[in-house]
Homo-oligomer: A and B are copies of this chain.
Amino acid sequence: MTADNFADRLLAAIEGKQSHVVVGLDPDFALLPSEIRDAHPRAQYAGDDEMHEACYREFLTALLDALTGEAMAVKPQIAYFEALGSRGYALYEDVVTMAKDMGYLVIGDVKRGDIGSTAEAYARAHLDVAGADAVTVNPYFGADGLEPFLRRTRESGKGVFVLVKTSNAGSADIQDLELSSGETVYRRVAGLVEYWGRESEGSRGYRSVGAVIGATYPAQGAELRARMAGVPFLVPGYGAQGAKATELSGLFDEDGTGTVVNSARAILYAYRKRPGIHWLDAARLEAQEMRSALWRAAGRGR
């Protein structure tokens, strides 16, 4: 294992914590525990955004601290931070730093993509300045729009997860279109992802250019796993979006690795389904159960 290959760090994090769990950080004021909201009365702040930022900061700091034993990575979703404007953007950057300091791998869920010179600015913004270990990117612009991100997988030990088949129903609109070759758009994108990652391979056969595959499409995911040896998968859509661990066994490789699974709301707001215990204990229990269920699904234990 070299410390500066993302794929190596990803596999090491799975082994180190015996966990495939990525916690999605999707802060939503309406869903926060009342304990958090009550501690920040509106009258103490100049505006709602300032209050929300203070609540998110306390909520996420406590969560990160509580889940170090269960989750090997976190995936802050930048959209929820941007919704608070520049104050939220600053919090996003702080959360990335904080999570790295606590030993998590940090996957910035930013879904950026643009033409070359602009993509370079985005790659700099998110992998160099904000400093996430990896980010999600959108493939619609093609290879030259991703090259600044890909370069950082080869040169700076960073990772990239390219959208292939997303977890939402509307993903059919474009991703499932059938090409004249007979394959679907998302399968073609999967092929491109394999190609784009070829120079980013670490010491254990995995590349640092991965694929985002929605947990809500486990059959397609298993098929892609079989065809995409060495491509790490980031699988969102677990929990609140409906996918279960037992359905995901086909997404792991024969060593039970290569795939990490994200859950956001089901963990963050677990207290809503587990009355009578502290919200942090609820989140920890939910993450623990997810960790065990995935570990079994990956063929790794009882």
Chain A: interface residue total (CB-CB under 8 A): 60
Chain A stretch 80-122: residues in CB contact (< 8 A) with chain B: 80, 82-90, 92-93, 111-119, 121-122
CB distance from A28 to the nearest CB of B (A): 8
Asked if residues A85 and B171 are in contact (CB atoms below 8 Å), the reply is no
Asked if residues B169 and A144 are in contact (CB atoms below 8 Å), the reply is yes
- A interface majority secondary structure: helix
CB distance from A259 to the nearest CB of B (A): 19
Distance in angstroms between the alpha carbons of A83 and B131 in the assembled complex: 11
Residues of B contacting A188 in the complex (Cβ-Cβ under 8 angstroms): 174, 177
Asked if residues B142 and A140 are in contact (CB atoms below 8 Å), the reply is no
Residues of B contacting A285 in the complex (Cβ-Cβ under 8 angstroms): none
CB distance from A211 to the nearest CB of B (A): 13
Count of chain copies: 2
Q: Is A292 an interface residue when CB atoms closer than 8 A count as contact?
A: no
Distance in angstroms between the alpha carbons of A143 and B158 in the assembled complex: 31
Residues of B contacting A93 in the complex (Cβ-Cβ under 8 angstroms): 85-86
CB distance from A109 to the nearest CB of B (A): 8
Distance in angstroms between the alpha carbons of A115 and B166 in the assembled complex: 8
CB distance from A300 to the nearest CB of B (A): 29
* Contacts A/B (CB < 8 Å), 25 sampled: A77-B114, A79-B114, A79-B118, A79-B121, A79-B122, A80-B121, A82-B121, A82-B122, A83-B129, A84-B129, A85-B129, A115-B166, A138-B138, A138-B140, A139-B140, A140-B140, A140-B166, A141-B166, A142-B170, A142-B173, A142-B175, A144-B169, A144-B170, A179-B179, A180-B180
